[in-house]
Structure 1
Amino acid sequence: MHIGSHLSASGGFLHMGQEALRMGADTFQFFTRNPRGGRAKEMNPQDAQALRRLMAEHTFAPIVAHAPYTLNACAAKPEVQAFALQTLQDDLARMEYLPGNFYNFHPGSHVGQGAQAGIEKIAAVLNKVLTPEQHTTVLLETMAGKGTEVGRSFEELRAVLDRVQLSEKMGVCLDTCHVFDAGYDIVHDLDGVLEAFDRIIGLERLRAVHLNDSKNTCGSHKDRHAAIGEGFIGMAALTRVLTHPALQDLPFLLETPQDTAGHAREIAALRAAVGEEN
């Protein structure tokens, strides 16, 4: 089982890897820049190489870089969509210093244009930024369906993937809180949810899991994460996600409302629940 949490990138790549090890983790997620947007820090190739050595030494699963929340590839305003295009291009160029890992982003909100228009715009942006040479897999995240979010259903994600020319460079990140809030009952029918995912998208596309509890009931479309075991999903259901045969070897990333020490306790509790030692 590969499990980690979201870490601050302020100390650099190697520091994040070392912090993950101190937490009992063997993967992690980080923002490529301020989550509300802005310029990214200049890359340090030596720091990236040091992280790659540490990951190989400690058998890390792939790590996940997360795009800023302000990235909206299906925005109605041209300047917002231009920011999404530029940010994706810049971030994917930076990820080449860490080849073989994942880049995750929220598909975006169509802000009244309609889901179909949003799907077309997202795919158009991806078709501009993806290259045959890149070594990073880009992940569409499953969304809770609040407001005009695209990605509230497996069908919407599949519609985006169907329009991407270099589809082999694409995958999906399943967020347990988001799919639960979107109406997929992973508490009482995890097998059924994964069977639907496989039928509609294909489990081979599932490359990472955001492991979060939810402060709201199934189908609420709220997207409010809870600490592990303190929400409506619960420890037992999240443990079933961790141990499901179809999900083995995936990186599981915590995005719960905890500090580093809290995430370390959650990682320890999850490992204990599945019979693993730190």
Structure 2
Amino acid sequence: MLHIGCHLSSSKGFAAMGRQALELDADTFQFFTRNPRGSKAKDLDPADAAALVSLMEEHSFAPIIAHAPYTLNLCGAEEKNRVFARETMADDLRRMEHVPGQYYNFHPGSHVGQGVETGITLIAEGLNAILTPDQTTTVLLETMAGKGSEVGGRFEELREILDRVELSGKMGVCLDTCHVSDGGYDIIGDLDGVLTEFDRVIGLDRLKAIHLNDSKNPIGARKDRHARIGEGFIGLEALARVVRHPALKDLPFCLETPNELPGYAREIALMRQQAEQLQ
């Protein structure tokens, strides 16, 4: 069975997101832990979090994905920005323990001219300051498109970060289809080859979730502009192969396409239909 959902607003709380996911025929979802362009988080209601846990158990949800704010940069050039990112992520991870066993996804960061190697070092140092042995949340590095000074546009960069994290068992990777295509990986014509390369460099056991997105740009553009399913350069046929692939089919898939809820419902239904078809 395809585990698929979309990005939902957390403004009404945990349980409301779970109910909304069910209305969309989703069995997972993603949400921002706080304002994606800011820093303030709403007060957490433990009873609301417990209600979501019960709903997820009752309806056999796949793990859900909390997404860190875009403003965080563990490898920023200024120390105050790195400290802000570490403190915010540490707070997010404490809050996530109210919904244990889920995923926390973040963009590795931008080295802003310091160089990739320095960026990797700073990201790993930040994670080593944040992760705790008793946390149940798995932290996911997201594959990036490689625009500007982004770290994580190549699998090797993610592997270097993972190798330097002391509590590496608390880490995984989220593969974004738009990002990897924009980054130059040919998931359209050679999905098997891309996954073989991922397995060689990182290991498929590290792959925990998929962001399922089409792209407004051709392969290798390094732009990172998401498109609705079937309306971009990747296309429905290639994305259908992604959800059907035996190495991926049991992972949670999350749509981050430019949609409102009715559009997400249509895409969820479409991809469930595609997943059920024979390869």
Deviation at 1:85, TM superposition (A): 0.6
User: What TM-score does the superposition give when structure 2 sets the normalisation length?
Assistant: 0.98
Q: Which residue of 2 aligns with 1:258?
A: 259
**Any unmatched runs of 5+ in structure 2?**
none
Contact kept, 8 Å, 1:175 with 1:210, in 2: the verdict is yes
Contact kept, 8 Å, 2:38 with 2:69, in 1: the verdict is yes
Q: Which residue of 2 aligns with 1:28?
A: 29
Q: Which residue of 1 aligns with 2:52?
A: 51
Count matched residues. 276
Q: Which residue of 1 aligns with 2:165?
A: 164
User: Using the alignment, how far apart are the partners of 1:167 and 1:119 within structure 2?
Assistant: 15
Q: Which residue of 2 aligns with 1:207?
A: 208
* SS of residue matched to 1:97: coil
**Any unmatched runs of 5+ in structure 1?**
none
Q: Which residue of 2 aligns with 1:143?
A: 144
Deviation at 1:38, TM superposition (A): 1.7
Determine if the alignment matches structure 1 residue 247 to structure 2 residue 248.
yes
State the Cα RMSD in Å. Answer: 0.7
Deviation at 1:248, TM superposition (A): 2.3
Residue 168 of structure 1 aligns to which amino acid in structure 2? Answer: G
Deviation at 1:269, TM superposition (A): 1.0
User: Using the alignment, how far apart are the partners of 1:209 and 1:143 within structure 2?
Assistant: 12
Q: Which residue of 1 aligns with 2:14?
A: 13
* SS of residue matched to 2:276: coil
> Per-residue CA shift, 1:118-154, capped at 9, x if unaligned?
0000000000010100000000000000000000000
Residue 256 of structure 1 aligns to which amino acid in structure 2? Answer: T
* SS of residue matched to 2:247: helix
Within 5 Å, which residues of 2 pair with 1:203-242?
A: 203-242=204-243
User: Using the alignment, how far apart are the partners of 1:210 and 1:143 within structure 2?
Assistant: 11
Determine if the alignment matches structure 1 residue 120 to structure 2 residue 121.
yes
User: What TM-score does the superposition give when structure 1 sets the normalisation length?
Assistant: 0.98
Q: Segments of 4+ in structure 1 off by > 3 A? A: none
Q: Which residue of 2 aligns with 1:102?
A: 103
Question: What is the percent sequence identity of the aligned residues?
Answer: 67
User: Using the alignment, how far apart are the partners of 1:206 and 1:59 within structure 2?
Assistant: 21
